[in-house]
Amino acid sequence: MPSTMLPSKMFNKILIANRGEIACRIIRTCQQLGVKTVAVCSEADRKALHTQLADEVVCLGPAEAAQSYLDMEKVLAAARQTGAQAIHPGYGFLSENATFSQRCAEEGIVFIGPKANAITAMGSKQEAKAMMEDAGVPVLPGYHGDKQDDDTLRQAAMKVGFPLMLKASAGGGGKGMRVVYDAEEIDAAIAGARREAMQAFGDDRMLVEKCLLQPRHVEIQVFCDEHGNGVYLFERDCSVQRRHQKIIEEAPAPGLSPSLRKDMGEAALKAAKAINYTGAGTVEFLLEGNEFWFMEMNTRLQVEHPVTELITGTDLVEWQLLVASGEKLPMTQQQLLPSGHAMEVRLYAESPDNGFLPATGHIDVLHEPSDLPGIRIDSGIQQGDDVSVWYDPMLSKIIAHGADRDEARERLITALENMQLGGVDTNRDYLIRVLRHKAFAEAVLTTRFVEQHGDTLGPREPELQPALAAAALFKLKQAEQAPVATDTGWRLNQQATAPVFFWQDQERLTARIVLQGEDKATLKAAEGEFSFSYKLQNDTAVIAANGKQHAFRLGCNGKTLYLTGADHQFGWSMQSPVNPGAGEDDGGLHAPMPGTIVEVLAKAGTEVTQDTPLVIMEAMKMEHTIRAPANGVVTAIHFNAGEQVEQNAVLIDFEQHEETEA
């Protein structure tokens, strides 16, 4: 919690050089501290939540981050214009940019983060590992050298052995990383990792490291001030990942002995002090058994910092402001004692049932269950927002705190079951499946968790009839077919019958509901008859049948009805589609999402075999390769590298060869 007595040196006004949930989260701490805030935004974010919470707003420029959030001179000009004494970079964007930290110092503006030399030291994984070896921090075997030609990397790979990990020296967040399992994959992996690293960081230098088979990803939160004091605020387990992006983070890490926890904490603090670090930082380790190895140091606040705050009772943003203003750390190592267990998930705009492709759209309905016990939601969205292709797809973070791990996990599941976001695909259902998984519940954690359990984490076939029953009742209620108010909820007239229609992916769902008194009804649809009892109250519906209860949260924007259940969210149009014939196969390969063409790998007239890479797209900081669906020929190409495309745009005309019998 923020301090009630603040030092006289505390800033009066800071600028937040970020957007989304982290900008909102920083603003809320500043509001409690009485510090004025300046938000910056792009033209695409003029109505975003963080601009509404801040005291002042400066628009930096176009939606493209390079012309707005990443333009350090525009950010500095905004700080000068508004009289901001300091700049908080959040995470991402300019947060680990040593040049920006230095420019702030030159302008007499405090950068709320480490000094430029510390960012530089840890910004190159190559140099960081060499420094950690010198400091006596354990480092994985591999190649971290200056020679960066493909042949050198190839030879290093053969020396390290397989499986191995290729990593962008300058990066993080899973960008520019490839796991390579045999020598045949190495050339393509180097090319792909280099290209992705150059796009993300402007630097294509690579590291080659031994890849552990069953590691855990455990990181230590460290904090240092300018007076030589430093503490570690214990560890977070971030092992459950997909494509090197964290899915679930928790603190403390399950199963660590007190001695191992102490050893890792002291090693992390040793790493920070080796570079004269100040501010908040995270030292990331790979852990296997009781051995751990330095992986990298993030010289900023981490996305998952709330779980540390919840088990330590601290506000790390407040700590950042105190340290940046020249104050000493508010607590000593002896005063820091973990309490309970915390767990966090990241709600992404993405489609898990469609290869986790980034999703865009309009947030038609939104319910965030922040009123549940032990639940904290760090959100950057509001109903009515548009989720665009321009930025990271993370929408919000849902965090639970409990007396122990089981309580935190159960609270987090309940919160997700009550989280409703209609209009944009999200990973909500997938997160619930991971949290409920037996191996996760038993804390059997490795960075291979998703790979090992992928078959059991896939989409479930939802039960349609209970959802259709709830939707039909809601639609009848909206039509005001003789409702009767009661103390327990809303009831329909007895013996009523009416047809209801919905549309899903151009297909019409037709049903007839027959009300039979005492809150009982029968649904007659293509799937057969479904008899049930029900209760409608406000925006919830409970359907009971065959000994099971199905609870749904109802949300409607006038055109689409959203029903959010414990396992699945349905979105059904209540209006007939304008273009019923759309979506028929036209023989082209379509863009699965809006984005930018990174590279075109084929030419018109090229004969290709099935799965040949044809086009590489990028959207929301992720690459997606479009491959040949069968043996055939590329007959035309409609876009060039660097061009923007809309979802479903025809990228390539493709003619499939007819199958011939052998």
CATH number assigned to the domain comprising residue 65: 3.40.50.20
Do residue 246 and residue 352 come from a single domain? Answer: yes
DSSP one-letter code for 658: P
**DSSP letter string, 115-143:** -HHHHHHHH-HHHHHHHHHHHT--B-SEE
Predicted confidence at residue 618, as pLDDT, reads 83
Predicted confidence at residue 38, as pLDDT, reads 98
Do residue 307 and residue 392 come from a single domain? Answer: yes
**507: amino acid identity, one letter:** E
Q: By CB neighbour count within 10 A (0-12 exposed, 13-18 middle, 19+ buried), where does 431 fall? A: buried
Token digits for 449?
Answer: 């968790």
Do residue 40 and residue 154 come from a single domain? Answer: no
Residues contacting residue 264 through CB under 8 Å, at least 6 positions apart: 218, 220, 235, 256, 285, 287, 292
Cα separation, 595 vs 645, in Å, equals 6
Report the 10 Å Cβ neighbour count for 293: 20
Cα separation, 208 vs 203, in Å, equals 16
Residues contacting residue 77 through CB under 8 Å, at least 6 positions apart: none
For residues 435-466, one letter each, b for 16 or more C-beta atoms within 10 angstroms of the residue's C-beta and e for the rest, the string is bebeebeeeebbbbbbeebeeebeeeeebbbb
Cα separation, 80 vs 13, in Å, equals 11
The number of folded domains in the chain is 5
**582: amino acid identity, one letter:** A
CATH number assigned to the domain comprising residue 628: 2.40.50.100
Do residue 292 and residue 399 come from a single domain? Answer: yes
Do residue 281 and residue 411 come from a single domain? Answer: yes
CA angle 382, 385, 389 (to 5 degrees): 125
CB 55, CB 37: distance < 8 Å: yes
CA angle 232, 135, 90 (to 5 degrees): 45
Whether 131 maps to a domain, the answer reads no
Q: Is the Cα dihedral 391, 351, 473, 538 positive or negative? A: negative
Predicted confidence at residue 592, as pLDDT, reads 77
Do residue 167 and residue 228 come from a single domain? Answer: no
**Residues taking part in catalysis:** 300
DSSP one-letter code for 454: G
Do residue 558 and residue 471 come from a single domain? Answer: yes
Do residue 37 and residue 160 come from a single domain? Answer: no
CATH number assigned to the domain comprising residue 510: 3.30.700
Whether 3 maps to a domain, the answer reads no
Do residue 32 and residue 161 come from a single domain? Answer: no
Predicted confidence at residue 486, as pLDDT, reads 37
DSSP one-letter code for 19: -
Last residue of a domain, one of 526, 547, 573: 573
Report the 10 Å Cβ neighbour count for 85: 18
SS3 228: coil
Last residue of a domain, one of 433, 456, 479: 456
Domain enclosing residue 507, as ranges: 464-573
- Kind of pairing between the strands at 632-637 and 142-143: unpaired
Whether 359 maps to a domain, the answer reads yes
Last residue of a domain, one of 155, 180, 210: 210
Whether 119 maps to a domain, the answer reads no
Residue 20's nearest CA partner among 348, 368, 379, 361 is: 379
Whether 243 maps to a domain, the answer reads yes
Do residue 87 and residue 150 come from a single domain? Answer: no
Enumerate residue ranges in the chain where pLDDT < 50.
Answer: 1, 4-5, 481-490, 494-495, 578-585, 660-662
**277: amino acid identity, one letter:** Y
Whether 120 maps to a domain, the answer reads no
Taking CB atoms within 8 Å and a gap of at least 24, the contacts of 45-51 are 45/19, 47/385, 48/19, 48/20, 48/380, 48/385, 49/24, 49/379, 49/380, 49/381, 49/382, 49/385, 50/16, 50/18, 50/19, 50/20, 50/23, 50/24, 50/380
Residue 262's nearest CA partner among 185, 187, 333 is: 333
Cα separation, 60 vs 41, in Å, equals 6
Whether 499 maps to a domain, the answer reads yes
Do residue 70 and residue 159 come from a single domain? Answer: no
Do residue 57 and residue 163 come from a single domain? Answer: no
Per-residue CA distances from 1 to 108, 160, 306, 369 (Å) = 30, 47, 12, 21
Predicted confidence at residue 498, as pLDDT, reads 63
Whether 512 maps to a domain, the answer reads yes
Q: Is the Cα dihedral 159, 160, 163, 167 positive or negative? A: negative
Q: Residue 423 — left, alpha, or beta (φ > 0 → left; ψ -120 to 50 → alpha)?
A: left
Element (H, E) at 651: strand 650-656
Cα separation, 552 vs 463, in Å, equals 12
Predicted confidence at residue 577, as pLDDT, reads 57
Q: Is the Cα dihedral 377, 380, 382, 388 positive or negative? A: negative
CATH number assigned to the domain comprising residue 165: 3.30.1490.20
Predicted confidence at residue 590, as pLDDT, reads 82
Predicted confidence at residue 589, as pLDDT, reads 83
Cα separation, 17 vs 54, in Å, equals 12
